[in-house]
Amino acid sequence: MSSRENTGMALGLLGVVIFSLTLPFTRIVVQELHPLLNGLGRALFAAIPAALLLLWRREKWPTWQQVKGLSLVIAGVILGFPVLSAWAMQTLPASHGALVNGLQPLCVALYAAWLSHERPSKAFWACAALGSALVLGYALYTGAGSIQAGDLLMLGAIAVGGLGYAEGGRLAREMGGWQVICWALVLSTPLLIGPVLYLALQHQGAVSAKTWWAFGYVALFSQFLGFFAWYAGLAMGGIARVSQIQLLQIFFTIAFSALFFGEHVEPITWVFACGVIATVMLGRKTAVRPAQPATA
């Protein structure tokens, strides 16, 4: 791997560490706030520093073609994943949601092959499929042989979130990683203001300081700063390859859930997590052919 690819992997890992606390903090927030208010409100809150940064840097407006790509980013990482995962966290432990979320790297790799024309090797797909099979096996095992409603919500979040990740990584090659998430947040603001205000007015009762701190994290870090590193990493290291680092998010989320949030983690969870991590290490050594430049 080149130094640029290694830098991309390192940035991707930094993004994953930041994202690993998203589900535990989301689980805290949805105990007091409606999942929609959490999912949409965190993006509206993050749009404020995003707009200020764009103004300060005097960034030029994206082209119409880039706006069309940003609409996929908005659908995936601003609307789809935050809302669906917040609903899932009402019924699933964060550690369980993290394991199901391990399917997202495979989705991102598939989208990368479709949107960015990357060509991973057969060995890469084998490792990605094995990791995904372990995740599905865990979901079935802990669900007593059946998929729970929360699992279906997480699967939906993964499908749309993976699209937002892959398209954002592709756009980051043109615009820059932080510019992608900033423009996506700013352009989504008209869609967010009405629903967030309505849900905020419908809310009854006080909101605890613990919930506000958790909401602050998912807004400032999960929805904003984490994407600075994540999209830059995808652009530098290759979308399909760097996306597989997200399987390590399982380990970090489970560890943080047990250490800081008091969730009980069954020993079998660690067995599955270690198996998935092993597939990441194997997949890192496989070949991924980047997109070929267009010829006249």
> Per DSSP, what are the bridge partners of residue 288?
120
What pLDDT is attached to residue 1?
56
pTM: 0.85
What pLDDT is attached to residue 290?
61
Quick one: average pLDDT of 255-280? 79
What pLDDT is attached to residue 94?
73
Q: Tell the residue number behind the tokens 């997480």, with chain if given.
A: 154
Q: Is 120 helix (H, G, I), strand (E, B) or coil?
A: strand
| 192/40 Cα distance (integer angstroms) | 6
pLDDT band at 145 (very low <50, low <70, confident <90, very high): low
Highest mean predicted confidence (pLDDT) among 138-152, 234-248, 259-273: 234-248
pLDDT at 296 over 50: no
What pLDDT is attached to residue 147?
63
At residue 127, φ and ψ (nearest 5 deg) are: -65, -40
Residue 166 C-alpha from the chain's centroid:
10
Q: Which has the higher per-residue pLDDT, 22 or 135?
A: 22
> Per DSSP, what are the bridge partners of residue 289?
119
Quick one: average pLDDT of 159-184? 92
pLDDT at 88 over 70: yes
pLDDT digits (tens, 9 = 90+) for 172-210: 999 999 999 999 999 999 999 999 999 999 988 889 999
Quick one: average pLDDT of 235-251? 82
